[in-house]
Amino acid sequence: MATKKSKPLFDFDSIILGTGPGGEGAAMNLAKSGQRVAVIERYDAVGGGCTHWGTIPSKALRHSVSRFIEYKENPLFQLEDQAGRMTFAHILKHAAGVIRKQVRLRSSFYERNEVKLYQGDASFVDANTIKIVPNKGNPFQITAANIIIATGSRPYRPSDVDFSHPRIYDSDTILSLEHEPKHVIIFGAGVIGCEYASIFRGLGVRVDLVNTRDRLLSFMDTEISDALSYHFWNSGITIRHGEEFSHIEGRDDGIVLHLQSGKKMKADCILYANGRTGNTDTLNLDAIGLAVDSRGQIKVNSRYQTSIENIYAVGDIIGHPSLASAAYDQGRIAGAAIINNGQCDKHLIDDLPVGIYTIPEMSSVGKTEQELTAARIPYEVGRAQFKHLARAQIANTNVGSLKILFHRETLEILGVHCFGERAAEIVHIGQAIMMQKNGGNTLEYFIHTTFNYPTMAEAYRVAALNGFNRLF
């Protein structure tokens, strides 16, 4: 006589809230390990803010503008009947096409791995139960042994700024910009603000960039961020450092930004891009006693476990480093911890690469000169200027440079910093060597390796020889 199978204690082994990079990384790892997995997505399509409002659309916009600039500046195309100017509406069409392709791809991941997808708003009933209010139909509940919060973040909106005004945007709503502004103010000169400053200026729009700090992107190597400041200034972007806003006055034909310093600035519209806040306010975290900070972020341990044993959190919802690339790995690590009953020896790599998609691009991995100087580590610098590389001359991408920081005595590579077209790709060559063990991470590799010619990768050999020649 066959024995009757007992009903599982929970509907699923794990439930994941959100389908951005963090949620996807967790879902794929858990599903491939044999778990019964469900994901809940608030919106009609998977991908989260990364795919729909953040990383993918802004980088697609940037690519279109960058190619347009190259076209205009390339002497091959300096013809009398040169094409007219490109508008923001034009490049939004390209971005929309990329988003559709990404959604189709990411949806197929969930289907292939038999992950159950629910669409609707999720909130906690208790530590094992999630209430779902679907986009259509009646609310219902599902249960799981473990829950991962990967709900991401959204632009921070101060209560005294009227974002319902048709001329006041954040980094999400700017993607619905329909008119063609001639003058834009961007308040906030972080990564998002700098990227959009590049995009609008590349389209020929006058840009005022208001920075609350004393320099751009202060977490980057000073030389690299100074290079960006110079190129912004040279392109016609006006940068105002050390400013805070008093209030934003919305008018029918534009806005007036009143600064605490007493200055006033007028433009067709404003993009407020000063910070982000975690999407935790609708999750009913009080029901499980889980606290968040003033920006809606959750504290976790090294395994991304919250103060509640069976609940994990990954991605923007936990704050730094707030990178799509890191969020995916965090999701995988949280999944591994669940599979191993809360134990996991995996962790993010120590030297996370950073890519900033301004025009020109910036990217870095490892230590900056300022960090090495503060730590009193004897280092030397090797540099290569893109304008001296045959590949850059062929492609007419002469702006930029590569900088290698290495230990004077051991020749160990300590940091790689790149400024210029394809910087976010080029930096990974240096990262790969930095990750080598047993003496494999030294400047010698670049000196003695043969590179394809002509390539941008050749910059590593040039920079290595430049640095080696500085030693005495």
23 is in an annotated binding site: no
42 is in an annotated binding site: yes
59 is in an annotated binding site: yes
242 is in an annotated binding site: no
Q: Which residue ranges of the chain lie beneath pLDDT 70?
A: 1-7, 74-85
316 is in an annotated binding site: yes
202 is in an annotated binding site: no
328 is in an annotated binding site: no
14 is in an annotated binding site: no
Strand-strand pairing, 206-210 and 238-240? parallel
313 is in an annotated binding site: no
47 is in an annotated binding site: yes
387 is in an annotated binding site: no
Domain 168-274 has CATH 3.50.50.60: yes
Give residue limits of the domains in the chain: 12-155+277-339, 168-274, 360-468
Domain 360-468 has CATH 2.70.150.10: no
93 is in an annotated binding site: no
The yes-or-no answer to whether 12-155+277-339 and 168-274 have a common fold is yes
Q: What pLDDT sits at residue 342?
A: 80
50 is in an annotated binding site: yes
Q: Report the alpha-carbon distance of residue 231 to residue 340 in Å, rounded.
A: 50
Q: Which of 126, 168, 172 is nearest to 147 (CA)?
A: 126
312 is in an annotated binding site: no
- The verdict on pTM exceeding 0.95 is no
172 is in an annotated binding site: no
Q: What pLDDT sits at residue 307?
A: 96
415 is in an annotated binding site: no
192 is in an annotated binding site: yes
Domain 12-155+277-339 has CATH 3.40.605.10: no
49 is in an annotated binding site: yes
276 is in an annotated binding site: no
335 is in an annotated binding site: no
